[in-house]
Amino acid sequence: SSASKEGYTHFMLKEIHESPIAVKDTISGFLNDMETVKEVAEEIRRANRIIVIAAGTSYHAGLYFSLLLNRKGYTAIPLIASEYYNIKLSKNDIVLAISQSGETLDVKMGIKKFKEEGAKIVSLTNVIESHIARESNYKLYMRAGPEIGVAATKTFTSQLASLLFLYSVIERESVDYLEKAHEVVRNVITETEGLAKKFGEELAKKSNIYYLGRGLGVPLAMEGALKIKEIAYIHAEAYPAGESKHGPIALVEKGFPVVFINYGELDDELEKNLQEMKARFAITYSISVNKKLNFSDFEILVNADERLSALAIAPIIQMIAYYAAVKRGYDPDKPRNLAKTVTVE
C-alpha cells in the first residue's frame, strides 16, 4: 500500500493527528450534501423508532447519538449489530447503520433482516459505495480518509461530528458551531498530548481499570475502555458512574485506577462517585471539559464549546490508550486477534 507514516512512529498516532482534518472534511461533506441530510432528518422526525445498529467503536458513536435523540423525546434504540435478532421491527421504524468500513458482517446481517421486514435504512460509512452504503436507502458519509490502524481513531471522531450534524438538523438548530469543530480537536491534541502520554504510561503499569462517566460521557467511557483493552491489553471496564457502587466498587482497593470522563454535565454527581472511589484508596484520573473535577489525583482539563465535548474527549482517550500500548511494548497498529474489518460471524 502507498500509505506512509510520514514521520510518525505508528499509523495510529498519525491518524489521531489527522482527526482535525478528518472532522473538517466530514463537516464540509455534510454541508455539501445538505439535501440528503435534510431528507434523513425528516425521516427520523417522522419515524416511530430509530434503530441504531453498529459494532465496536461505531456502536459507541451510535449509543452517543441515541442518547442525544432520547433526551429530545425520540425513541432511539442502540443495538449491537450481532444482537440484531432482539428487536422486532414495528411500523415506521427506521434503521441507522453506522460502520466505518461499511463491510462489517454483523451490521450487514442486521440490515438484511430489517430490510426484509420493510424498514428503510440510513447508513453512515467512511467508504463510498461500501456494501452497507449500497444496501441503504440514504447514504451518509464521513470523509475521514483511509484508516490503517486497526483501532478506530479519526473515524470515531468523524462519526461523532457527523452525528452531531445530523442531530442539529433534526432539531432544526444551526450547524454553525460545527465549523469550529476541527479547531477544537486540533487544540485538544496539541494541549493534552503530553498529559495523555503521562496518563497512558501510568495506566500501563496496571492490569485493571475502570472508566466511569455519566450521561453523554458514558459512551466515551466505553470507548476509552475498549481502546485501552484493544491495543494495550489491559482489562478495562466502563460503567455509568452511579452504577459503580452496585458491584464494580467491590474490586477497588489501594492503587486501583479509575478514569472519570467528566463530559461537562452531571459533574456534582460524578464528584460523589469519585469520592467513593477515593475512600477505597483508588487512584483517580479525570478527563474534564470546562470544569475540573475536584479531588481527582490526576487531571486533564480542556475548554471547548459544550456541544463539542465529545469531540474534545475522543482524541484524549485514544492518546492515552496509544501511549499505554507503546509503554507496554506493543504495536498499536496491529493488535493481536483483531481485524480492521470483521467479515465473519
Binding residues (CB under 6 A) for ligand G6P: these are 55-58, 99-101, 104, 107, 150-152, 338, 340-342
Asked if 303 and 184 count as a contact pair (C-beta separation under 8 A), the reply is no
**Least distance between ligand G6P and beta carbon 289 (Å):** 24
**Least distance between ligand G6P and beta carbon 115 (Å):** 17
Q: Which residues, other chains included, contact 177 with Cβ-Cβ below 8 Å and sequence gap of 6+?
A: 168, 305, 307, 308
* Three-state SS at 301: strand
**Cα 237 from Cα 218, distance rounded (Å):** 11
Find cell 463539542 and name the residue: 308
**Cα 257 from Cα 284, distance rounded (Å):** 6
The CB-nearest residue to ligand G6P is 56
**Least distance between ligand G6P and beta carbon 64 (Å):** 14
Q: Which is nearer to ligand G6P, 104 or 136 (CB)?
A: 104
Q: Which is nearer to ligand G6P, 67 or 80 (CB)?
A: 80
**Cα 227 from Cα 162, distance rounded (Å):** 21
**How far are the Cα atoms of 10, 99, 128, 132, 273 from residue 103, in angstroms, in the given order?**
24, 7, 11, 6, 40
**Least distance between ligand G6P and beta carbon 146 (Å):** 12
**Cα 329 from Cα 345, distance rounded (Å):** 31
**Least distance between ligand G6P and beta carbon 174 (Å):** 29
Residue 284 burial by CB count (10 A; 0-12/13-18/19+): exposed, middle or buried? Answer: buried
Q: Which is nearer to ligand G6P, 111 or 282 (CB)?
A: 111
Asked if 96 and 107 count as a contact pair (C-beta separation under 8 A), the reply is no
DSSP lists the bridge partners of residue 54 as 80, 98
Q: Which is nearer to ligand G6P, 101 or 162 (CB)?
A: 101
Cite the beta strand spans of 21-162 per DSSP E.
Answer: 50-54, 76-80, 94-99, 120-125, 138-141
**Least distance between ligand G6P and beta carbon 158 (Å):** 11
Q: Which is nearer to ligand G6P, 38 or 336 (CB)?
A: 336
Q: Which is nearer to ligand G6P, 159 or 286 (CB)?
A: 159
**Least distance between ligand G6P and beta carbon 16 (Å):** 14
Q: Which is nearer to ligand G6P, 113 or 245 (CB)?
A: 113
